Amino acid sequence: MKSRRALWYWLLVVPALALMFPGIYARRTPELWGFPFFYWYQMAWIVLTSILSGIVYVATTGRE
């Protein structure tokens, strides 16, 4: 059961990989509500990381 729970932690690697290479997203276009891509991409990952962290927390606690 513990190894199955450990697999959920791999979801936390996704945001790290998405933000690890700024050369991929360091550009101005496309803009969203006047924000260059560089800024709104990072802001979107703040929200997505919170959601992923919540999913991992719920999946790895309790139920024992």
Query: pTM, whole model, 2 decimals?
Result: 0.80
The mean pLDDT of 44-49, rounded to a whole number, is 96
CA–CA separation, 24 and 22 (whole Å): 5
CA–CA separation, 18 and 10 (whole Å): 13
> Cβ of 29: how many Cβ atoms within 10 Å?
7
Predicted local distance difference test score (pLDDT) of residue 4: 72
Residue 1 has pLDDT above 60, yes or no: no
Domain ranges of the chain: 2-60
